[in-house]
Amino acid sequence: MGKKARGAEAFEEFYSKAWGERWPKLKQSLVGPKTYAAIKNPHFEGNIDWSSIKTKELWPQIHLLECGGTWPEVATDEQGNRSHYMMDPASCLAAHYLGVEPGDEVLDLCAAPGGKSLILLNRLKDQGKLVSNDRSRDRRERLKRVLAEHHPLKESIDLQITGHDASSWCLHQKEAFDKILLDAPCSSERHVFESPKHLNEWGEGRTQRLSKDQWTMLASALDVVKIGGRIIYSTCSLSPLENEKIIEKLLAKRGERVRLIDIDSPYIEKASFGYYMLPDNGGWGPIFFCLIERIG
């Protein structure tokens, strides 16, 4: 059996096949300027004149700059709270559409660097429980730092930071959370383009291996969420193996236990299963996500 192709040529062949005529434009958008949203910190007590900055509120406390504006530098108040946190608007989307409400018990399975956990905390309004998990020690330390800088701990909220393997969580807890966010480790093609080393080493086997890990994480999450609870599965990948094919597999193997929830938004486009937000259509992302409800 011949050795499988690797590097830029293999990368180009795989994604050209996946995206067809759209691929050249999509590829160009991956190396273009990034768009950022600001998550305003409701606990910040310092001075920033937001009134002089033209922004559009995408979702509660998540703001996008209007044309021609510039974000202020992040400020820190006397209590150590930072004024805002910057991230891709597409990444905000997954946390937003999970639909967290005050009093929910929530699990963020792959939480670092922490922006999505901040959104989940803001939605809880200091009522309920959030477990922010990341297996990597270095990423977990960054997660702790981000949460400490943007959200003072209160007795009314149960916030835990853990370092467990997301794929085996179901061995220790079942039907334990109302909402689960699984933003799974993925191919992240934007980062591949930023690293000649990673591009030269790329092979289709990478996305195949990642898809196996993603499936085990999602299968575990399905056991951990309560019946009637919801999961957001998301990646920042463009590989169908890590996106639609994962949801297709979920329906084939666990279809009697789940239903997919439709989402109506001007910011997203429907895939065969789930939704995309893509950088060639507005400069956000990429992100793939699917909202799943456990029914049995």
Print the domain residue range for 129: 89-294
Distance CA 152, CA 166 (A): 26
Number of domains in the chain: 1
Q: What pLDDT sits at residue 69?
A: 75
Could you tell me if residue 223 is inside a domain? Answer: yes
Q: What pLDDT sits at residue 155?
A: 64
Run of H or E residues at 42? none
* 134-191 pLDDT per residue, tens: 999 999 999 999 999 998 877 668 999 999 999 999 999 999 999 999 999 999 999 9
Q: What pLDDT sits at residue 152?
A: 82
Residues listed for the chain: 296
Distance CA 225, CA 249 (A): 18
Q: Which CATH number fits the domain that encloses residue 159?
A: 3.40.50.150
Report the 3 state secondary structure along 232-273. Answer: EEEECCCCHHHCHHHHHHHHHHHHHHEEECCCCCCCCEECCC
Q: What pLDDT sits at residue 61?
A: 87
Q: From 280, 288, 286, select the one nearest 211 (Cα to Cα).
A: 288
Could you tell me if residue 13 is inside a domain? Answer: no
Could you tell me if residue 240 is inside a domain? Answer: yes
Q: What pLDDT sits at residue 156?
A: 67
Could you tell me if residue 155 is inside a domain? Answer: yes
Could you tell me if residue 121 is inside a domain? Answer: yes
Q: What is the dihedral of CA 186, 192, 195, 201, to 10 degrees?
A: 90
Q: What pLDDT sits at residue 181?
A: 99
Q: What pLDDT sits at residue 193?
A: 87
- Residue tagged active-site, from 170, 186, 236, 290: 236
Active-site residue flag, 170: no
**Cα–Cα distance list, 237 to 191, 219, 286 (Å):** 10, 19, 7
**Cα–Cα distance list, 276 to 26, 33, 234, 289 (Å):** 12, 19, 10, 7
DSSP state of 33: P
Could you tell me if residue 248 is inside a domain? Answer: yes
The list of the chain residues with pLDDT below 70 reads 1-4, 67-68, 155-156
Could you tell me if residue 42 is inside a domain? Answer: no
Could you tell me if residue 262 is inside a domain? Answer: yes
